[in-house]
């Protein structure tokens, strides 16, 4: 089931950026909640920042945060969430005399931390306090200063926080024992990923260090189930802690209602939600090269941010724009830190330019005064689109805008379906990945490192009873002991030789990373690091000299150091290849795929469609729709020996259906978002028998063992548990059941 998206009904006409300038609201009394802020903080808000008042979100956050309540603060991008958290916490810090590192500010991206630390430190300095930064790129000299002189606010990542807990250089009790509050920025980005499980587990261990409950504050711009997100963030204490969702001017889901039909229904608007604000245009350009031509010709003199959904696409588009003499900057995870920083700084200061990025610039990193967002093809979720369009419309007299340039027929259909959902005020629920057994194994090893030993009877207390890090993890603990990851000595557990062998002898530092990245080679031009490339680019057979595309430029390979995974290059005129292995589970959601079906059946999203887009959609409705969609049923089609069931249910639901209906589904197939293949000898009797035998017993999808290796720490699990973890994440039982309840229409073609 999905939730209503919210819309900001109090957006100011003043330039905001991430600075929450806003006029006084009618009926506000400036002497009410503002009196709870420390007088020095209030003085600087008025005199240093020049704000006549706080924004509604910032006002509403004062009382619950200063009262020590947990909270999730919701506002659109650039809604002033950082200040909504910082001003009350700094006031509480001053009023209650907090000492040492009393506030942690956690972010999912190092670049976001880099962007925030100056602003947070400037607010802390109003009170004679200090903020500091700690993550993987921070130099050891800076970390040593933090160990010696604890900052009042520490900005870091959950992985770095765990490294502090288990590292031998850091006295974690001294540095972290005074923590009173934790701010989790972009909390939805954690909650929908394994990093969220890791975050919760580390916060519970941190509370064991402090000896007191820690106030938890989440900041989010796009979420369809905020109350559930708050409950999730509260962790083991969710049943006993007070907390609230703070979202003035934001439309939240009605209690007990999704606002939008879920599995089993067409995705239709409930209560006739108004169309969200924003100028959106959908175009079909047919190729990435055509997209480059259009971007080079349109909106000259403006600052444009172009989102792509793969690193390869970023590189190829960047090179095509540079060839057309466009000032272009690139940002993606495989570029070096220096390369990305140069791009982000130059883009923030430049005017007539384009930055091409993956989702690395989707979150709250400040990219300056942005004019336009352009989307190549389509993101996979409405939440992602909301983040991206929210980068625009921050200046007075401007509105949020996004131009979609789709390069294929299927991505045009996907973009149209996504915009149909967006137009109805719909956004995905944030749902944690199920059954994170691999992270349970990681946490058992990490907490043993932290404590140096672990009691074999009281080990579960380290997470305060938080599932799944509770007694239910006993089989995993037994497996770790049996396989030598842990040594048992008289009822005490110690890190064993197998853990050191698997996860590195340098204090098992690999235990601090809760996800797996495919191996990549570092690319160097002289002593300058350009970024990382996939090893397949270096090994696959190709005629001519071996050339890479990285940073939007071509490089000729001069030497490969296979042992140290380093590639030395020099500039080349062209011909470079960009390639990276795709990680994670592919596929679209049930809701988005169903919206695409609606588009094929004739519904257009209420946005501006170019003539090219209209013509391409019309062609798909004329040529593809008759053989793929039916208005009142799912469709089974037979073309010779090719039998397909067009469910339009999304990859996970189709994988679940293929496993559940194994007697009639093709065992060699890989399900798609729209359909799954059935056996060519399928008969009506066999189909009916397979459907009747299901009952309530849906089956987990089959798992490729290569996917199991994609789970870091899966080697520390019994194989059956590792396989069932991956299978649970491939499944969509709700979507599969919805499809099974629909009528089926069979269509034969010669």
Half-sphere exposure of 65 toward its Cβ, with a 13 Å CA cutoff?
A: 35
pLDDT value, residue 10? 31
- Nearest CA to 4 out of 179, 201, 184, 257 is that of 257
Is residue 267 in some structural domain? no
User: β-strand 675-678 against 243-246: which pairing, if any?
Assistant: unpaired
Half-sphere exposure of 337 toward its Cβ, with a 13 Å CA cutoff?
A: 9
DSSP secondary structure, 643-668, as one string: EEEE----HHHHHHHHHHTTTTB-TT
> Are 505 and 535 part of one and the same domain?
no
Question: For residues 134 and 336, what is the distance between their CA atoms, to the nearest angstrom?
Answer: 18
> Are 225 and 316 part of one and the same domain?
no
> Are 391 and 493 part of one and the same domain?
no
Residue ranges in the chain whose pLDDT is less than 50: 1-28, 30, 253-273, 507, 516
Question: For residues 582 and 334, what is the distance between their CA atoms, to the nearest angstrom?
Answer: 13
Contact 604/282 with Cβ under 8 angstroms?
no
Question: For residues 667 and 683, what is the distance between their CA atoms, to the nearest angstrom?
Answer: 17
Question: For residues 739 and 157, what is the distance between their CA atoms, to the nearest angstrom?
Answer: 41
> Are 225 and 329 part of one and the same domain?
no
Is residue 86 in some structural domain? yes
Question: For residues 732 and 737, what is the distance between their CA atoms, to the nearest angstrom?
Answer: 9
pLDDT value, residue 561? 86
- Nearest CA to 60 out of 38, 75, 39, 76 is that of 75
**φ, ψ (nearest 5 deg) of residue 744:** -120, 130
Is residue 116 in some structural domain? yes
Question: For residues 597 and 378, what is the distance between their CA atoms, to the nearest angstrom?
Answer: 16
pLDDT value, residue 398? 78
Contact 77/51 with Cβ under 8 angstroms?
no
User: β-strand 486-489 against 492-495: which pairing, if any?
Assistant: antiparallel
Give the global pTM.
Answer: 0.85
Is residue 57 in some structural domain? yes
Question: For residues 190 and 184, what is the distance between their CA atoms, to the nearest angstrom?
Answer: 9
Last residue of a domain, one of 426, 459, 474: 426
- Which distant-in-sequence residues (6+ apart) come within 8 Å of 242 by Cβ? 69, 70
> Are 88 and 229 part of one and the same domain?
yes
Question: For residues 158 and 511, what is the distance between their CA atoms, to the nearest angstrom?
Answer: 12
Last residue of a domain, one of 533, 551, 571: 571
CA distances in angstroms from 660 to 7, 465, 655, 698, listed in the order given: 40, 35, 9, 5
> Are 162 and 73 part of one and the same domain?
yes
The kind and range of the H/E element at 687 are helix 684-692
Last residue of a domain, one of 571, 590, 611: 571
- Nearest CA to 748 out of 625, 637, 632 is that of 637
Per DSSP, the three-state class of 503 is helix
> Are 238 and 335 part of one and the same domain?
no
Question: For residues 152 and 144, what is the distance between their CA atoms, to the nearest angstrom?
Answer: 15
> Are 539 and 481 part of one and the same domain?
no
> Are 403 and 455 part of one and the same domain?
no
Question: For residues 388 and 381, what is the distance between their CA atoms, to the nearest angstrom?
Answer: 11
Question: For residues 195 and 460, what is the distance between their CA atoms, to the nearest angstrom?
Answer: 20
Question: For residues 258 and 680, what is the distance between their CA atoms, to the nearest angstrom?
Answer: 40
Angle between helix 733-740 and helix 590-600 axes, rounded to 10 deg: 40
pLDDT value, residue 512? 65
Contact 144/175 with Cβ under 8 angstroms?
no
Contact 389/373 with Cβ under 8 angstroms?
yes
Is residue 387 in some structural domain? yes
Tell me the pLDDT tens digit for each residue of 115-129: 899 999 999 999 999
Structural domain total, the chain: 5
pLDDT value, residue 18? 39
> Are 561 and 636 part of one and the same domain?
no
> Are 415 and 482 part of one and the same domain?
no
Is residue 599 in some structural domain? no
> Are 54 and 146 part of one and the same domain?
yes
Tell me the pLDDT tens digit for each residue of 534-561: 887 887 777 888 898 998 889 989 988 8
- Cis status of the peptide bond prior to 6, with omega within 30 of 0: no
pLDDT value, residue 350? 78
**φ, ψ (nearest 5 deg) of residue 514:** -95, 10
Domain that holds residue 101: 3-246
Burial category of 453 from C-beta neighbours within 10 Å (exposed 0-12, middle 13-18, buried 19 and up):
middle
Contact 178/150 with Cβ under 8 angstroms?
yes
We report the CATH number of the domain holding residue 369 as 3.40.50.300
């Amino acid at each position: 089931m999905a939730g209503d998206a919210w819309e900001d009904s109090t957006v100011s006409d003043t330039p905001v950026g991430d600075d929450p300038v806003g006029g006084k609201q009618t009926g506000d009394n400036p002497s009410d909640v503002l009196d709870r802020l420390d007088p020095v903080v209030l003085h600087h808000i008025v005199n240093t920042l020049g704000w006549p008042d706080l924004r509604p979100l910032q006002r509403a956050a004062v009382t619950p945060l200063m009262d020590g309540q947990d909270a999730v603060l919701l506002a659109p991008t650039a809604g002033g969430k950082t200040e909504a958290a910082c001003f009350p916490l700094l006031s509480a810090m001053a009023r209650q005399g907090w000492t040492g590192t009393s506030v942690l500010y956690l972010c999912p991206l190092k670049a976001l931390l880099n962007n925030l630390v100056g602003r947070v430190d400037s607010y802390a300095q109003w009170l004679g306090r200090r903020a500091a930064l700690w993550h993987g790129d921070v130099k050891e000299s800076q970390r040593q200063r933090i160990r010696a002189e604890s900052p009042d606010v520490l900005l870091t990542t959950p992985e770095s926080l765990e490294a502090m807990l288990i590292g031998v250089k850091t006295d974690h009790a001294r540095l972290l024992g005074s923590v009173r509050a934790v701010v989790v920025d972009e909390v939805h980005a954690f909650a929908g990923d394994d990093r969220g499980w890791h975050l919760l587990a580390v916060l519970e261990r941190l509370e064991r260090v402090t000896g007191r409950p820690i106030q938890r504050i989440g900041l989010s711009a796009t979420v369809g189930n905020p109350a559930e997100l708050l409950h999730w963030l509260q962790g083991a204490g969710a049943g006993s802690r007070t907390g609230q969702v703070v979202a003035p001017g934001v439309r939240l889901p009605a209690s007990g209602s999704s606002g939008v039909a879920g599995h089993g229904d067409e995705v239709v608007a409930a209560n006739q939600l108004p169309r969200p604000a924003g100028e959106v245009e959908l175009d079909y350009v047919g190729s990435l090269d055509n997209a480059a031509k259009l971007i080079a010709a349109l909106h000259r003199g403006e600052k444009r941010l172009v989102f792509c959904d793969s690193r390869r696409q970023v590189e190829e588009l960047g090179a095509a724009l540079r060839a057309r003499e466009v000032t272009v900057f690139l940002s993606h995870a495989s570029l070096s830190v220096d390369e990305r920083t140069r791009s982000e700084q130059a883009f923030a200061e430049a005017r007539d330019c384009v930055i091409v990025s993956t989702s690395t610039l989707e979150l709250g990193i400040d990219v300056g005064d942005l004019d336009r967002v352009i989307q190549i093809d389509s993101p996979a979720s409405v939440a992602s689109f909301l983040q991206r369009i929210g980068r625009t419309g921050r200046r007075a007299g401007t509105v949020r805008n996004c131009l979609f340039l789709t390069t294929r027929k299927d991505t045009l259909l996907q973009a149209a379906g996504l915009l149909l959902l967006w137009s109805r005020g719909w956004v995905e629920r944030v749902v944690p990945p199920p059954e994170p057994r691999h992270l349970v194994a990681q946490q058992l090893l990490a907490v043993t490192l932290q404590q140096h030993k672990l009691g074999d009877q009281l080990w579960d207390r380290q997470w305060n009873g938080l599932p799944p890090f509770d007694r239910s993890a006993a089989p995993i603990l037994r497996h770790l002991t049996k396989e030598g990851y842990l040594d048992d000595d008289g009822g005490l557990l110690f890190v064993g030789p197998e853990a050191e062998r698997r996860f590195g002898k340098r204090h098992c530092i690999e235990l601090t990373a809760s996800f797996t990245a495919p191996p990549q080679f570092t690319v160097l031009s002289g002593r300058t690091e350009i970024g990382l490339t996939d090893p397949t680019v270096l090994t696959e057979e190709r005629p001519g000299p071996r050339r890479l595309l990285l940073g939007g430029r071509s490089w000729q390979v001069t030497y490969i150091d296979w042992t140290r995974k380093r590639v030395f290059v020099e500039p080349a005129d062209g011909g470079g290849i960009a390639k990276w292995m795709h990680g994670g589970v592919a596929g679209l959601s049930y809701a988005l795929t169903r919206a695409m079906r609606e588009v094929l059946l004739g519904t257009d999203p209420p946005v501006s469609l170019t003539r090219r887009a209209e013509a391409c959609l019309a062609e798909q409705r004329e040529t593809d729709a008759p053989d793929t969609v039916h208005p009142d049923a799912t469709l089974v089609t037979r073309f010779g020996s090719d039998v397909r069931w067009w469910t339009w249910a999304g990859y996970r639901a189709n994988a679940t259906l293929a496993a559940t209906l194994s007697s009639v589904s093709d065992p060699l197939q890989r399900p798609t978002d729209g359909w799954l293949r059935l056996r060519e000898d399928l008969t009506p009797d066999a189909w009916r028998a397979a459907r009747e035998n299901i009952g309530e017993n849906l089956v987990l999808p089959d798992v490729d063992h290569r996917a199991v290796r994609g789970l870091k720490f899966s080697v520390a699990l019994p194989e059956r548990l590792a396989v069932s973890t991956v299978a649970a994440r491939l499944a969509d039982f709700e979507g599969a059941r919805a499809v099974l309840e629909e009528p089926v229409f069979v269509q034969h073609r010669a």
